Amino acid sequence: MKTYDQIMLELQKKQYSPVYFLTGEEPYFIDKVASKIESEVLDDTSKSFDQQVLYGRDLEDIGQVISMAQQFPMLGERTVIIVREAQVLKKWENFELYWKNPMQSTVLVICYKGKPNGNFKAFKGLSTTDYYMESAKLRDYQINKWIIDLIREKRLQVEPKVVQILADSLGADMNRIEKELEKLVSGLPEGTKMIDAALVERNIGISKDFNGFELQKALVEGDVVKANRIVNYFADNPKDHTIIKELPLLFRFFSNLLIYLYLPDKSDRVAAQALGISPFAVRDYQAASRRFTKMHAFRAIGYIREADARSKGIDYPNSSNEGDIWKELIYKIMH
């Protein structure tokens, strides 16, 4: 099995494998590998003769792909065959004979999104080879690191606050995050190397003052006025700040805080590992622990669950509007 980083490094060095079986729950890394192979392995002239991009829905079974992969290139040294949405194909038991003895002049890329059928022997053996890459969903702390790495690749720097704002506001949609980062880069004034919160607000529309990160900070600092100002902004801008979108951020924070409060060893390294966050983010929980006790954190989680139910009309048929729900929640948490 190879990692995404290993494969991308080899592709940069023009080292190509005869088979790439790209699978997993995170489509972003699968698409990135396939797109790089599609755009860079063959030149434009060779692509017309020796490159095919196929879709599983247009094929009967994997046998058709194998037949194409066994053909010699017409013009250049390689044939490139990319099969997108391959998870809908059938008869995968026929694939084992090919990957065990592939055409060395073919680069066959199988994009199988989701988890492969564990009943097929072909997949069990394949997962132990260098042809196999599993693209797993990133955890919260990994998304933050991924954002930082993506920005560093562009030889830029970013404020830690901005990384958290992007992760909280855009969620785990990595394609969307990448597109928004491209907006930020294109909006940088000439000679500027730092991406700050003001730039995010100008180019993406995520307010540097009114977001989930700032609400969390206001609660930790006990700033009632700021917290209510933020939730009023949320209520006035429901398209960008629905309560269903923002509540999970608070729920995750207080859930992690409760775990932190029970940790016998609260050092940055141990806490970061226990919470699945970066060591830098541990300081937020250190600050929160000085304001909230275990019982406060436990009750806050209950209040957030109640607000979520009210927003969905569950057990609360006469639920108030989102602004009222927010205000009540903030009052309960801070008192």
Weakly modelled stretches of the chain, pLDDT under 50: none
Q: Is 25 helix (H, G, I), strand (E, B) or coil?
A: coil
> What integer pLDDT is reported at residue 292 of this predicted model?
95
> What integer pLDDT is reported at residue 182 of this predicted model?
87
**Model pLDDT for residues 246-295, shown as the tens digit of each residue:** 888 899 899 999 999 999 999 998 998 888 877 778 888 999 999 999 99
> What integer pLDDT is reported at residue 12 of this predicted model?
94
Considering the chain, what percentage of its residues have pLDDT values greater than 90? Answer: 51
> What integer pLDDT is reported at residue 118 of this predicted model?
66
> What integer pLDDT is reported at residue 317 of this predicted model?
57
The vertex-73 CA angle with 67 and 79, nearest 5°, equals: 70
66 closest CA partner among 95, 34, 37, 27: 95
pTM score > 0.85 for this model? no
> What integer pLDDT is reported at residue 66 of this predicted model?
95
> What integer pLDDT is reported at residue 7 of this predicted model?
96
> What integer pLDDT is reported at residue 105 of this predicted model?
96
Give the dihedral of Cα atoms 253, 292, 271, 250; nearest 10 deg: 0
Q: Is 90 helix (H, G, I), strand (E, B) or coil?
A: coil
